A and B are shown apart, each in its own frame.
Chain A
Amino acid sequence: MPSVSEQSGAVPEVVQTTVARPERGERRRVTVSAQDVHLTYRTVLDRRANTLRQRMMRFGRPDATPNVLEVKALRGVSFEVTQGTVMGIVGPNGAGKSTLMRALAGILPPTSGMIEVHGRVSTLLALGVGFNANLTGRENVILGGLASGLSRAEVKERYEEIKAFADLKDGFIDMPMRTYSSGMFSRLAFAVAVHMEPDILLVDEALSAGDAKFRRRASAKMRELMGQARTIFLVSHALGSVVDLCNDAIFLQEGRIVARGEPQQIVDMYTDSLDVKQDHLSMEEL
């Protein structure tokens, strides 16, 4: 493994910054580095085209190939993030924010370029963690922990804390998750993700879950994790949260990093580009 200085020196400054990055008093370890990451999906416009039946019907008719749409979700994204950074990612729908998060988590492989991640990653992505609605909350907590690579003992150690944090109404933890409200579902997902003691936490649009009381607790937990010098990536349309929680931010548009810098300035740029005012709707807090 190369040393810190080698890593920081080896990567060219590829991020297009229009806003100066905040000065940091100390030089910290690079935890996430993306180098010219491109990610292209090929999606078939007609889902039926991916069937044996359609393939057979097209057989011998080369002109009848299905319409394939090439989506360039990320186009040359490069950045480095050091330990303790809380990185806000803003951008319009379809900018590639969720794709970037999945690429950092190792779920979607880059089409070209390279991503290097040092540390245990925990994800809290838009669609909720891989909960099985037929299983109980307790079983899902255990499975979620084991899937993330924790040992059984480690999961057991954290279970009570997760249960207390999610603060579900009595008995719900032992009920199938299909009986949960969407808020309860998200609360448990959030509780699992933040208690995995990740070095790097990826949060995608999940903080708006739950009631006011839970949001407050979630916000406090995020600050606690920040205090422990964890690296956090936060994708949110609640721009108030980005300004409030993050100490660095990226503005992503059409798969490219348009700007990186102070969260407030990035949010200003983003709202200017959308031609929307920073009112209570766009700046909604956690």
Chain B
Amino acid sequence: MAVAQAEDEYLGEHHVYRPHRAGLPPLGTYVRELSRRRPFVRELARAELKAQNYNTAFGQAWLVLNPLLNAAVYFFLVDILSSGKGRPPNYITHLLAGIFAYTFFQSGVSQSAGSVVGGGKLILNTAFPRLLLPITQIVIAFFRFLPTLAVLAVVLWFNNRKNISWNLLWTIPDFALLILFTAGLGFVCATLQVYNTDFKNLLPYLLRLGLYLTPILWFVKDPVTGVVTGGIRRPIATYNPLAPIFEIWSNAIVAGQPSPMGTWLRAIAISVVMFVVGFVVYVSRERDYAVRI
């Protein structure tokens, strides 16, 4: 009997539905169900990428071209605003690395935000853990990010060869933190969009503002003197939750250096907290989505 019960629970074949105000569903079962439906996430991501033509050579080229054009725009913008007073060394590498990572963050958050509202029929007609929808969008954003790594590698080789070292490996755990942060914020935005249908109009402004507030167009530390930049940039770098993640990213790629322990701790704490908050906000509300959309 005990075995049968465990099997029942595992297969999701014994369901008890009670009022949704109870808050979070049993987390163990929920996470197991999520994990069991990984093939659904993979297949949905693959199918959506294909529907957006990203499985073709030109589709892949566009994935690279788009952030490159963005980078070109910001490059000239910063040059003009600084009256061409000379840009710091390695500025192009720093800008490209930052823009590529931020493009992942931006598309992950905005696509996740629309995933519930856009999943209308699937939500109304099939019962499954709703968290699969924004997770799929994060997976898609990651696959769209991958081709830009090739461009980054070329730029690094030609522009920054002397700083290539084993410290580049720090980008892997750092990017994992960025994924966690993006997912958490994406979960929150998806929930907000269900309850505020015009949130999608506000989000692009917030994400653009986020780009300017993150050390992508500027350095936290002067790459020549190593002095932490002053003025308004200092509080921004301190309080912007994305700042430590992008600081570590730039240190590893541009300067070829590890980041201080304090920066790592801030990045880890912020990402984990964002993910947990996003998870709780989304999952505690998800049974309400079918009523709302």
Binding site for B on A (CB under 8 A): 1, 41-42, 47, 50-53, 55, 102-103, 105-121, 123, 125, 127-132, 134-135, 139, 142-144, 146-149, 151-152, 176, 199
A142 lies within 8 A of B43 (CB): yes
Q: List 7 A-B contacts (CB under 8 A).
A: A42-B291, A109-B288, A112-B19, A130-B124, A130-B126, A135-B48, A146-B37
The docked-state distance in angstroms from the alpha carbon of A139 to that of B43 is: 8
What size tier do the contact residues of chain B reach? Answer: 35 or more
Chain B, range 214-265, C-beta contacts under 8 Å to A: none
Say how far A247's CB is from chain B's closest CB, in angstroms.
24
Q: A103-B17, A105-B127, A127-B125 are in contact. List 12 more A-B contacts (CB 8 A).
A: A41-B291, A50-B196, A50-B197, A51-B197, A107-B124, A114-B18, A117-B14, A117-B17, A128-B121, A129-B126, A130-B121, A135-B47
Is B213 an interface residue, CB under 8 A from the partner? no
What A residues does B175 contact at CB under 8 A? Answer: none
Are A130 and B51 touching (Cβ within 8 A)?
Answer: no
* Known contacts A1-B1, A51-B198, A134 near B51 by CB under 8 Å: yes
Is the pair A110, B40 in contact by a Cβ cutoff of 8 Å? no
Contact of A149 among B37, B44, B199, B202 (CB under 8 A): B37
User: What's the minimum C-beta distance from A186 to chain B, rounded to whole angstroms?
Assistant: 13
Q: Is the interface of B mostly helix, strand, loop or mixed?
A: helix
Q: Decide: A120 near B125, CB < 8 A? Known: A52-B202, A110-B19, A143-B40.
A: no
**What residues of B have a CB within 8 angstroms of the CB of A132 in the complex?**
47-48, 51, 122
B20 within 8 A of A: yes
Q: B120: shortest Cβ distance to chain A, in Å?
A: 8
* B contact residues around A114 at 8 Å (CB): 16-18
Total A-B Cβ pairs within 8 A: 134
The reply to whether B124 and A102 form a contact with Cβ atoms under 8 Å apart is: yes
Task: Judge whether B197 and A47 touch: CB under 8 Å.
Answer: yes
Residue numbers in A under 8 Å from B43 (CB-CB): 139, 142-143, 146, 152
Residue of A nearest to B122 (CB): A130
Least distance between A26 CB and chain B CB atoms (Å): 21
Q: CB distance A139 to B126 under 8 Å?
A: no
Among the 9-residue stretches B4-12, B88-96, B144-152, the one with 4 or more Cβ atoms under 8 Å from chain A is: B4-12
Asked whether A131 and B121 contact (CB < 8 A) given A52-B196, A143-B47, A148-B126, the answer is yes
Give the CA-CA distance A247 to B39 in the complex, in Å. Answer: 38
- Decide: B121 and A149 in contact? CB cutoff 8 A: no
Nearest chain B CB to A198 CB, angstrom units: 10
B15 within 8 A of A: yes
CB contacts (< 8 Å) of B121 on chain A: these are 127-131
Chain B residues whose CB sits within 8 angstroms of the CB of A117 once the complex forms: 14-17
Interface of chain B residues 114 through 131 with chain A (CB within 8 A): 119, 121-128
Assess the A109–B17 pair: CB atoms within 8 A.
yes
Q: What A residues does B128 contact at CB under 8 A?
A: 147-149
Inter-chain contacts of A118 with B (CB < 8 A):
8, 13-14
Report the minimal beta-carbon distance from B200 to chain A, rounded to whole angstroms.
Answer: 10
Write the nearest CB–CB distance from B64 to chain A, whole angstroms: 23
Nearest-Cβ distance from residue B81 to partner chain A, whole angstroms = 31
Asked whether any CB of chain A lies closer than 8 Å to the CB of B207, the reply is no
Residue of A nearest to B16 (CB): A116
Known: A125-B125, A143-B43. A109 touches B19 (CB 8 A): yes
Partner of A109, one of B20, B44, B202: B20
Contact A108 B13 (CB under 8 A): no
